[in-house]
Amino acid sequence: MMKKLLSIIICISPWTSLISDNHPKKRLFDREEIAAKILGREDRKYGDHSGNRVLCRFYNQGSIGDQSSSFSGVYPLGSGHSYIWEFSPVIAASVLDTSGNRKRIVSDGLRGLVDSSPEGTPWSFEPLAGYANPNQENLAMSDNSSTWPSTWPNKDEDWDGEWNGQYGKYVRADQESYFVMDDYYNSEYEFWPDLNDVPESSTESPDDHRRGLGINLEVRGYQWNHPAAEDIIIVTYWITNIGSSTLDSVVFGMYGDADVGGPSSFSDDDAWFDTENDMVYQWDHDNWSTSYGGFRPAYFGWSFLESPGNPHDGIDNDGDGMIDESQFDGIDNDGDWDPERDDIGADGLAEFHINYTGPDEDGTEGNGIPDLGEPNFEITDNDESDQIGLTSFYSAPYPSVYPSNDEVMWGQLTPGVFQVPQQNVDQTFLYGSGYISLQPGEKKKFAIAMVYGENMADILRNTSTMQNIYDNDYSFAKPPLKPTMTAVPGDNKVTLYWNSFSEKSMDPIYGNDFEGYRVYRSTDPGFIDSYTITDAYGNITFKEPIAIFDLQNGLRGPHPIGYNGIQFDMGEDTGLKYIYVDSNNVVNGQTYYYALTAYDKGYDLDFFENGFS
């Protein structure tokens, strides 16, 4: 189906405030109180991602899934078919304890196989206070402002009442989640990550001082209902070393227990890994489940969309043609920041955003240089990272992966270890990416995707498509940019002029697929009299243009893909023009309405053979 954009007649619907009656713009606590309260298990909350065909519960101490409940990796949404027991991110590093002994510390957020003290205290991630409304049980979700705090601990007051988005004060996905956690309470070993926060006596409680690896994780979940991403949830982890010591052997990973087939048919699963696509996946051995009355399970997996790289080794680690690129070097490594398109200021808001209030007060909007917070630069340009990717995979029958044994986990996460799994069993697995180093205060990002597919080919296709979308900063196939048109009346004629701005369009999926312009005329503002083209069922479907100007590239006539029995007219290779004189039955004194649309090539498989995409 073609993608069209009207440039002259613009309708703006009334916008709704992001602050509901249940979320009054008042402070529940101030920033000093937030800073004083580090974190606590009493701040544990959950949120349900349901923004597309995948339904999954997330917990703000790190756990993903709800142990095969009706909120635990259900696919497709509404089926009740659960695919997940529990998953959790894992951060591991090798350190020296206070006695100089080498210890491997592994922190996770599991609720099931909990690593805990002899007294039963979890040695796990815990949430930081202040990132959700403290008066309810849900973590912050973008589509429910009553879950937001009255003020964000890591933002200035002008963010109060706004969504705390990675890309600015707006929601990039159809549904997002956000929380922050760290491993403050992981006191299993005598290691003090912050030498400025150590006990002065042996009688002090370990809970009074920072333990673990000194790791802070800022976590965001993303879902889109777009067909290209409707089977996927993306989770990003910004990992910061908030200790005083350098961590020089960090591995990021994920422990997982998927139950493909549901609660009564999970003991016959297969699992494998794919280093080329940086993914691990699992499927039912005989492609049939007796759960839920019987059904054919889908494939389930996780893929690395981004992992940190080494921006100092002179090697193109991710094979993208860039060497030692970084999201923190102040350089637009891939050169995709466009001053006409991306110079929208540090708040990430432009005129096309509903909550745009004008140019940035700091002068970053329209200053001609890329600034942090603008699209396609530094942390908002996902492709500017020299990624390591998948470096280890260990799978074995439950419970062969032991989250409670840090030494065993460390061995299973070691880069280069790829355990060929036993098949047709109740699979658990552990995958990782490493090693990376983290200097004190340094921050790095991992992005992973929970992905489903009807079969092997489908899950690979979904993963590849999502990687492309991610590398283009979560952008999807979309129409060309709006051209600007001017109409000049004359004697029984109207002259139209427009610019070539639409030709700068870069589709995130299909690249530079601009094709042409279409001109429309009407005697009413709704263009009712130009709706003349009907589909196979007799329904009025398309407007009829008075002129088409398209590229001379051989793509002409009806588009190969139909819509309800009709094909979009791609033009006749007339060539592009930027002026059109309408003198066809133009009557002096009559009011006319004109519209100009830019359209692209659309999509068809043989376009690749013809070199169009």
Whether residue 284 is predicted with pLDDT greater than 80 in this model: the reply is yes
Task: Copy the structure tokens of residue 529.
Answer: 């009299």
Residues comprising the chain, all counted: 613
pLDDT at site 352: 57
Q: pLDDT higher for 508 or 304?
A: 304
Average pLDDT over residues 288-299: 95
Average pLDDT over residues 398-418: 91
Please state, in angstroms and rounded to a whole number, the distance separating the CA atoms of residues 275 and 256. 18
The string of pLDDT tens digits covering residues 164-204 is 999 888 788 889 999 999 999 999 999 999 999 988 877 77
Task: Copy the structure tokens of residue 37.
Answer: 């309260």
Share of the chain above pLDDT 90, in %: 53
Whether residue 16 is predicted with pLDDT greater than 50 in this model: the reply is no
Q: pLDDT higher for 42 or 57?
A: 57
Average pLDDT over residues 83-99: 96
> Lowest-pLDDT range, 28-37, 362-371, 428-437?
28-37
Task: Copy the structure tokens of residue 460.
Answer: 């690979």
Contact (CB, 8 A) for 320 and 467: no
Q: pLDDT higher for 179 or 68?
A: 179
The single-letter DSSP state of residue 64 is B
Highest mean pLDDT among 381-390, 410-419, 527-536 belongs to 410-419
Contact (CB, 8 A) for 498 and 486: yes
Which residues lie closer than 8 Å to 551 by C-beta, 6 or more apart? 514, 515, 516, 573, 575, 576
Please state, in angstroms and rounded to a whole number, the distance separating the CA atoms of residues 239 and 241. 7
Whether residue 537 is predicted with pLDDT greater than 80 in this model: the reply is no
Highest mean pLDDT among 141-155, 410-424, 471-485 belongs to 141-155
Share of the chain above pLDDT 70, in %: 85
pLDDT at site 570: 92
pLDDT at site 571: 94
Average pLDDT over residues 482-499: 95
Contact (CB, 8 A) for 377 and 339: no
